[in-house]
């Protein structure tokens, strides 16, 4: 494939892109549930969010980085947790995977959110070892 670029032209397009990725990965009624656990989508979302955070720090100062850091920390009270839990319960290969495979799936599923080891373990147990 020839190398091509995709350019986001301004701050508002970047915010829209972040919202699109969040909606695609964590909407309550997905039309394509494979998107949630796609490593490619996870990497794209992470890259877009990294750029958005850098831009917001430039616009708003260091407090923006702290706000995003808080936003990225996932916990069971979040809507994204509930959606990820629902997606994981539908994963047909879950019972065939090793614990490390499940852990990697959970990290990709929650990306770009950061999940602690303890919460990842609790999540895996709640789906079923």
Q: Could you tell me the residue ranges of all domains in the chain? A: 11-127
pLDDT digits (tens, 9 = 90+) for 33-91: 899 999 999 999 999 999 999 999 999 999 999 999 999 999 999 999 999 999 999 99
Q: What is the pLDDT of residue 1?
A: 63
pTM over 0.85? The answer is: yes
Average of per-residue pLDDT across 13-22: 96
C-alpha pair distances (Å), 113 with each of 8, 9, 84, 93: 22, 25, 11, 23
Does residue 112 have a cis bond before it (omega within 30 degrees)?
yes
Q: Which residue has the higher pLDDT, 4 or 100?
A: 100
Q: What is the pLDDT of residue 33?
A: 83
C-alpha pair distances (Å), 5 with each of 8, 20, 46, 51: 10, 19, 17, 15
Residues 6+ apart with CB under 8 A from 50: none
């Amino acid at each position: 494939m020839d190398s091509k670029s995709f350019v986001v032209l301004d701050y508002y397009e970047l915010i829209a892109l972040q919202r699109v990725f969040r909606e695609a990965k964590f909407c309550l009624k997905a039309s394509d549930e494979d998107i949630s656990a796609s490593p490619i989508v996870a990497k794209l979302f992470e890259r877009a969010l990294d750029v958005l955070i850098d831009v917001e720090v430039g616009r708003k100062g260091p407090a923006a980085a702290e706000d995003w850091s808080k936003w990225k920390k996932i916990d069971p009270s979040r809507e994204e947790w509930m959606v990820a839990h629902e997606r994981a319960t539908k994963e047909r290969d879950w019972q065939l995977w090793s614990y490390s495979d499940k852990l990697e799936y959970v990290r990709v599923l929650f990306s770009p959110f950061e999940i602690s080891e303890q919460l990842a373990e609790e999540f895996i147990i709640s789906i079923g070892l």
